[in-house]
Amino acid sequence: MGKTMKFSRYAKRFDSGSGTVQLMEDLGAARRTRGPVYMLGGGNPAHIPEVQSIFQREMLRIASDSAAFGRMVGDYDVPQGNVEFTTALASLLNRKFGWPLGPENIAITNGSQSSFGLIFNSLAGEFDDGRFRRVLLPITPEYIGYSDVGIYDKPLFEGHRPTIAKLPGGFFKYHIDLDSLTIDDRYGAVCVSRPTNPTGNVVTDAELQELARRCREADVPLVIDGAYGLPFPGIIFTEAQPLWEPNIILCLSLSKLGLPGVRAGIIVARPEFIRLVRNANAINSLAPGRVGPELVAALLEDDSLLDLCNEIIRPYYKRKMEHVVDCVRSIMGDLPVWIHQPEGALFVWLWFENLPITSEQLYQKLKDRGVFILAGHHFYPGLDEDWPHKYQCIRVNYATDIAVVEQGLKIIADTVRESYRAT
């Protein structure tokens, strides 16, 4: 064995204690574990047969055309990303939402996760005026994947505690606490995921408009992470309008359509930001991948991708969501459990009020029993205050088989029940 390698301060960022690492490792660990496994963690979308067959058809069409196939796998794309795709998407966004966009407003990245590192470190962190600006997350719980992308020793995120509205039927909903939220030039950017991972919340149109107004006035860019949202994959079960204006950076992804393997993220922003992304792509990876964009471009041109979202993908997840809510009610009826109103994405967020153990302890106990969920405390990037609620929630991914979800929920219920009994 050689001596231990010495790592730079930069490498400390890649510490294995990161929640994002844990979640991606769990996906692999679950496949290796003996005995039954109930994979309700991770963010993998479902394999929906009708959707997969359309992507398969497109792949076969391209694969059987030597010139098209040769281009797809044999040529670097331009660093801003596939021109057919960016042109088709700009025209779709214009047609559907009236947004005045051209291909100069769109860039491709190697998955939206890799967009965030670039976006947040470009808009926040150290500035020439000596100031350190943070990214404000106006409503946490928020996506775990933002947490560790900062390149500085200082924390890059500031989380804001939401208000909780308890609703009839054992549901609750987080709202942005607008009364205590000040947006000013202490921040380099503000970011929300909509629908939100982990909660399935969809920040209301009014909340989003107000955020956008405050950001505009403070001249702070607003990042909207639409990985589950509009125009695709459109996993939203409530009435919600998408929003873009020059002060907004909209992040999209092909992943939750069912294509996480192709690693394609999309940034919609004003041209000066897109030029930055283009340059970063060239420097960091020469060019973004072109398999995903080429696979999907034709489906954007004739709106068939949107039909797929409306007719197959959204109803598919809505059915699953309704089923998982019914299961929670019937399996956990005796427990003090609140379900975050499931308005989108592919998760239910369960709040066990006054849970006597932490969500991390619950995660460990469940893992020992073959059930993989995500412990809630990971989803509070930049919210350091001691708030017991942070340790009382878990995220359950319901994209998998109904039987797996049902059995997993039974084990979760038993484990939670034991912990309440033990006190």
Ligand X SMILES: Cc1ncc(COP(=O)(O)O)c(C=O)c1O
- Exposure class string for 75-84: b at 16+ Cβ within 10 A, else e: eebbbbbbeb
Cα separation of 371 and 318, whole Å? 23
Beta carbons of 379 and 140 less than 8 angstroms apart: yes
Q: Look up residue 344 and give its DSSP letter.
A: B
Least distance from ligand X to the Cβ atom of residue 302, Å: 24
Least distance from ligand X to the Cβ atom of residue 286, Å: 19
* Closer residue to ligand X, CB minimum distance, 257 or 327: 257
Least distance from ligand X to the Cβ atom of residue 370, Å: 22
* Closer residue to ligand X, CB minimum distance, 80 or 253: 253
* Closer residue to ligand X, CB minimum distance, 232 or 363: 232
Q: Look up residue 236 and give its DSSP letter.
A: B
Least distance from ligand X to the Cβ atom of residue 217, Å: 26
Beta carbons of 125 and 150 less than 8 angstroms apart: yes
* Closer residue to ligand X, CB minimum distance, 150 or 355: 150
* Closer residue to ligand X, CB minimum distance, 86 or 407: 86
Give the C-alpha distances (Å, rounded to integers) separating 249 from 53, 77, 274, 340: 32, 23, 10, 27
Least distance from ligand X to the Cβ atom of residue 117, Å: 11
Task: Please give the order of strands across the beta sheet that includes 347-352.
Answer: 163-167, 171-175, 337-340, 347-352, 393-397, 374-375
* Closer residue to ligand X, CB minimum distance, 227 or 321: 227
Alpha carbon 279 to chain centroid, angstroms: 25
* Closer residue to ligand X, CB minimum distance, 292 or 408: 292
Which of these, 178, 201, 169, lies nearest to 395 by C-alpha position? 201
Least distance from ligand X to the Cβ atom of residue 149, Å: 11
Cα four-point dihedral sign 195, 198, 201, 204: negative
- What is the helix (H) or strand (E) element at residue 339, kind and residue range? strand 337-340
* Closer residue to ligand X, CB minimum distance, 19 or 260: 260
Give the C-alpha distances (Å, rounded to integers) separating 295 from 43, 84, 142, 202: 22, 11, 30, 29
Least distance from ligand X to the Cβ atom of residue 3, Å: 36
Q: Which two tokens stand for residue 225?
A: 């992470």
3-state secondary structure of 187: strand
* Closer residue to ligand X, CB minimum distance, 116 or 187: 116
Residues that bind ligand X (CB under 6 A): 43, 111-113, 143, 145, 193, 197, 225, 227, 253, 255, 260, 265
* Closer residue to ligand X, CB minimum distance, 147 or 407: 147
Least distance from ligand X to the Cβ atom of residue 63, Å: 23
Give the C-alpha distances (Å, rounded to integers) separating 86 from 74, 234, 331, 345: 20, 19, 46, 24
Beta carbons of 379 and 340 less than 8 angstroms apart: no
Least distance from ligand X to the Cβ atom of residue 255, Å: 3
Give the C-alpha distances (Å, rounded to integers) separating 48 from 44, 64, 210: 12, 24, 36
Going by their DSSP bridges, the two strands 347-352 and 163-167 should be labelled as: unpaired
Least distance from ligand X to the Cβ atom of residue 87, Å: 21
